[in-house]
Amino acid sequence: MKSKTFSRIGGGIAGLALLLVIIGAVNLILSNLRFRADVTAEHLYTLSKGSKAILGKLDKDVTLKFYFSGSSAEMPMNLKTYATQVQDLLKEYELAGKGHVQLEAYDPKPDSDAEEWAQRYGIEPQQVNPFGQPVYFGMVAVCGENEQVLPTFSPRTESTLEYDITRLVTRTVWPEKPVIGLMSSLTDLLGAPPNPMMRQRQRQNQGWAAFTELKKDYDVREIPVDAEKIDDEIKTLVVVHPKNLSEKALFAIDQFVIRGGRLVVCVDPFSVMDMIANQSQQNPMMMQVGGGQVGPSTLGKLFEAWGITFDTAKVVADMAAATKLNAGNGRAEENPAFLSLSDKNMAKGDLLTAQLTQVMLPFSGAFTFKETAGLTFTPVITSSKDNSCLVDQMNAQFGMSAMRTQLNPDNTERVLAARLSGTFNTAFPKGPAQEEGSTNAVPTVLASGTGTVMLFADSDFLADQFCVQVLNTLFGSMVQPINDNLSLFANTIEQFAGREELIGIRSRGPSNRPFVKVDALETKAMSKWQKKEAEFEAALQETQQRLQALQKQKSGSERLILSKEQQAEIAQIRKTQAETRKQLKGVRKELTGDIDRLGTTLKVINIALVPLLVIVFGIFHGVRRKAR
């Protein structure tokens, strides 16, 4: 009996030990496998198709060297958490690289070889504690003799993390830079040499972020606005606010497109940046909006030859895309001419905009296309159909009060950006007009050719004021996008310059979802608000006209005394104003009530509906089981 008892105990212990060994082995095996399911709608936690496509094309080995001072007591906890996310994403690159990508992680402790190499590569040391040791948080990509560095990682730029890493790999494996031409009537797009006597303006001399970022991946060359020919090395030409271009410059662009060049053009009925530039050069007391040398931009004869119409006197106003702006005196107003466009305004099937969520176009014009043989016109960004109209660009400059009477939606969708492709015919069949007395030979004219043109009805969307904000962080000054303007522009350049794989990485969708229903309620309430305000303004103007007519009937000292009729009119104004304010408060209360009811409905669904479904299922299952 004792022998059997000991045998059973020994067998149990052996079985338990064997079970522990099996569990340990399974745990060890599974720890090296990556079973993940990303159920987010935007696939925020997996590599995008663009990154996988680039990693699939690798024919060289790339080493990603990740430097992070994880053992340092100076490193903030939030950065340690973010570093784990970064390293986890880098492991995804290693797996997707299928042997061509190797990840190495280093902890650059003080006076260590790892710290020396981090400094040699250009990883920026950050002084978190003035009396402590510097910390490091960056990465280097190495491919043969080519090295590219990301000096710092920051949680502030988490939305562009994947793009930054993939672009780093791309620049390391394929270091050659395509040549891009830049022509503009605006100055300092690429930056100007800093003036040591004007340190406070040094930021302004760094150029627009859209183009300084472009220089990291491309050979960007400035083309003068009076150029008579576009160099053959340039395969992609970017034209920004082409104001008053000469016929020879238009001819140069015409020939560039016909010979197969790719053109990105940003025209504008009213350029805010042009106005600012002119104000800075003139006496502000003498400068008026729309005065001086400020003017619209267009491509004139080229648009005519391509079947494009662009009205430089009109600006698109869209109540569904209005932007809240500072109206002065502590007031804010919704400006429908300052467009904040959502994914509803983007072409869903177009690679340029398929993953964009918000684009801002201040004072944009609109394109119309007359069917032209050989050319295909594809809208990329449009206004809403039910809430948009055209207003005079002069009125749009002065806010809602100046353009309120023109805000009459006409059930027409406006094209704000479009792609034009196919066979282009020259706008200069006989070449450009020669100046009187000129002996220069007329250049050879290419009559037609296949090309691609990207059209934007605004140029200010690329300016820093409308697409980025400068942040002073632990890792120094950083530029952070405030919308998808830079993504839209970068997608366009990458597609036109031949790097389509990076397009799908830019805007993968924010982790916070927009409240679409609330936005719709606010748009509806805003329309009611504008209607009530317009009615009050009309009544006020009519009353003021009657007051002036009564005043003219007086003579001498009587003009200083209010008549009974005038007193009655003033009382009527006050009564109308009080009624209007009451009605506007009612609109605001109605909006608040709708939003509260929507919130209550969501709470009931989230809190009560799921438990209720479980209870119903339990009762149904119990009854069915009992019946069996």
Going by pLDDT thresholds of 50, 70 and 90, the confidence category of residue 287 is: very low
408-434: burial string, b at 16+ Cβ within 10 Å, e else: ebeeeebbbbbbbbeebbbbbeebbee
The pLDDT of residue 462 is above 90: yes
DSSP string computed for 286-299: T--TT-TT---B--
Query: Which residue bears the tokens 């060994």?
Result: 21
Residue 201 confidence class, pLDDT cut points 50, 70, 90: very low
Same fold, 49-161 and 177-193+203-281+291-432+444-466: no
Query: Which of 134-143, 215-224, 402-411, 590-599 comes out lowest in average pLDDT?
Result: 590-599
**Across 410-418, average pLDDT:** 95
Average pLDDT (141-165) is 87
Q: Once rounded to an integer, what is the mean pLDDT over residues 207-217? A: 88
Residue-level pLDDT at 359: 95
**pLDDT of 236:** 94
More confident of the two residues 62 and 625: 62
Q: How far is CA 242 from CA 207, 212, 226, in A?
A: 18, 20, 11
Reported as a pLDDT band with limits 50, 70 and 90, residue 625 is confident
Report the pLDDT value the prediction gives residue 606, as an integer from 0 to 100: 73
Calculate the average pLDDT of the chain.
81
pLDDT confidence of residue 538: 67
Of 476 and 97, the structure prediction assigns the larger pLDDT to 97
Q: Are 182 and 210 in contact (CB under 8 A)?
A: no
Cβ burial, residue 330 (10 Å; 0-12/13-18/19+): exposed
Pick the residue with more confidence: 23 or 366? 366
Q: Give the closest residue to 101 by CA, choosing from 68, 57, 145.
A: 57
Q: Residue 160: pLDDT above 80? A: no
| Contact between residue 107 and residue 68 where contact means Cβ atoms under 8 Å apart | yes
Residue 532 has a pLDDT of: 64
State the average pLDDT over residues 159-163. Answer: 81
What are the DSSP E strand ranges found in 133-247?
137-143, 146-150, 179-184, 219-222, 236-240
- What mean pLDDT is predicted for residues 238-249? 93
Q: Please state the domain extents for the chain.
A: 49-161, 177-193+203-281+291-432+444-466, 517-600
Average pLDDT over residues 173-177: 87
Contact status, residue 271 vs residue 279, Cβ threshold 8 Å: no
pLDDT band, very low/low/confident/very high, at 292 (cuts 50, 70, 90): very low
Q: How far apart, in whole angstroms, are the C-alpha atoms of residue 246 and residue 225?
A: 8
Q: Which pLDDT belongs to residue 331? A: 76
* Over residues 584-603, mean pLDDT: 70
pLDDT of 427 reads 92
pLDDT value at 182 more than 70:
yes
Sorting pLDDT into bands at 50, 70 and 90, what band is 18? confident
Q: Which of the pair, 565 or 406, is modelled with greater confidence?
A: 406
Instruction: Look at residue 440 in the predicted model and tell me its pLDDT.
Output: 57
Token pair belonging to 50: 């663009």
Quote the pLDDT of residue 288.
38
pLDDT at 101: 95
For residue 260, pLDDT beyond 50? yes
82-115 pLDDT per residue, tens: 899 899 889 989 989 989 999 999 999 988 999 9
Q: What confidence score (pLDDT) does residue 544 get?
A: 64
Over residues 597-603, the mean pLDDT reads 73
Q: What is the pLDDT of residues 426-442, one digit of tens each?
A: 999 888 876 555 555 55
Give 143's DSSP letter.
Answer: E
pLDDT above 50 for 402: yes
pLDDT digit string (tens) for 503-549?
A: 666 555 544 455 666 666 666 666 666 666 666 666 666 666 666 66
> 162 falls in which pLDDT band (50, 70, 90)?
confident
pLDDT of residue 438: 52
The tens digit of pLDDT for each residue in 316-362 reads 999 999 998 877 776 778 899 999 999 899 987 777 887 788 999 99
The b/e string for 524-548 (b: 16+ C-beta within 10 A; e otherwise) is bbbbbbbebbeebeebeeeeeeebe
- Provide the CATH number for the domain formed by 177-193+203-281+291-432+444-466 in this structure: 3.40.50
> What amino acid occupies position 76?
P
Residue 289's pLDDT is 37
**Residue reference for tokens 């801002």:** 360
What is the pLDDT at residue 511? 47
CATH no. for 49-161: 3.40.30.10
